[in-house]
Amino acid sequence: MRYITLLLLVLIPAISSAENSLINSNKLFNFAEAAYPGYFSPAGVITTTLDGYLVRYYPNTGNYIGTKGEEVYVYGNVFNGLLRAGVISDYVELEADSDELLAQLFSAGKSNLQVYGTGVVISILSDDLDGSRHQRFIIELKSKQTLLITHNIDLAPRIFALSPNDKIEFFGEYEWNNKGGVIHWTHHDPEGIHVNGWILHNNVIYQ
């Protein structure tokens, strides 16, 4: 039943041409959980992807909420099936472009701040096998600042079929270096102490 429901989402055409944004979708989902717990509980369930849609399923209520681009959809008996519910910005303020913040962090030499961003892969490096294994690649932001992404593949899946010119979205911790900076902690924390990071690539969430 769950996957049949998710397939129904795929059949709905996306009106908005905006790209998927995991950071904004998660912000919407978190808002829905806090504002409407009678419909969307338990809070904090995992966001999944399917054919370009970002979706959360709530087993306590049997309801779903999903996005594609900026479009928002809900599904459940209480909604009489599938219902388009507007756009993300109807409910939450969209996150601003993070390039300016990352430029400020680089200029000020600051580190240890969890940041969100998007960029294009410009170089793929060999894995770092010293200690925990890390998949490494360099991205370029729209501002032309470059970032080294070090993605822990002992704690999160390897990013599949990553290639130059691919676009990624990330949420991780910024560390300064003289080449633009490093992003790590792009994975879940098995001890539940550090905020969970992630990478979104080709509509797959790596966490």
Range of the domain at 184: 99-206
Residue 31 DSSP label: H
Other C-beta atoms within 10 Å of 105: how many? 21
Q: Contact at 8 Å (CB) between 156 and 186? A: yes
How far apart are the C-alpha atoms of 22 and 41, rounded to whole Å? 20
The predicted pLDDT at position 69 comes to 86
Q: How far apart are CA 106 and CA 37, in angstroms?
A: 40
Residues of the chain short of pLDDT 50, as ranges, are 1-20
Q: What is the pLDDT of residue 2?
A: 44
Q: Are residues 72 and 117 in the same domain?
A: no
Asked whether the beta carbons of 99 and 142 are under 8 A apart, the reply is yes
Please compute Rg for the chain using Cα positions: 18
| Measured distance CA(170)–CA(121) in Å, rounded | 12
Same domain, 66 and 11: yes
Q: How many helices (H) and strands (E) does the chain have?
A: 3, 12
Q: Which pLDDT score, from 0 to 100, does residue 55 have? A: 94
pLDDT for the residue 6: 42
pLDDT value at residue 115: 93
Q: What pLDDT score does 52 carry?
A: 74
Residues 64 and 150 in one domain: no
d(CA 90, CA 71): 10
Residues 109 and 82 in one domain: no
Domain containing residue 160: CATH number = 2.40.50.200
Going by DSSP bridges, is the β-strand pair 113-124/71-76 parallel, antiparallel, or unpaired? unpaired
Q: Examine the domain organization and report whether 72 and 144 are in the same domain.
A: no
Report residue 191 as tokens: 């001890």
Claim to verify: residue 8 and residue 69 sit in the same structural domain: yes
The rounded distance, in Å, linking the Cα atoms of 63 and 6 is: 11
Which pair of structure tokens corresponds to residue 76? 């459940």
Q: What is the pLDDT of residues 76-129, one digit of tens each?
A: 999 999 999 999 999 999 887 789 899 999 999 999 999 999 999 999 999 999
Which of 43, 60, 90 is the C-terminal boundary of a domain? 90
Q: What is the pLDDT of residue 49?
A: 86
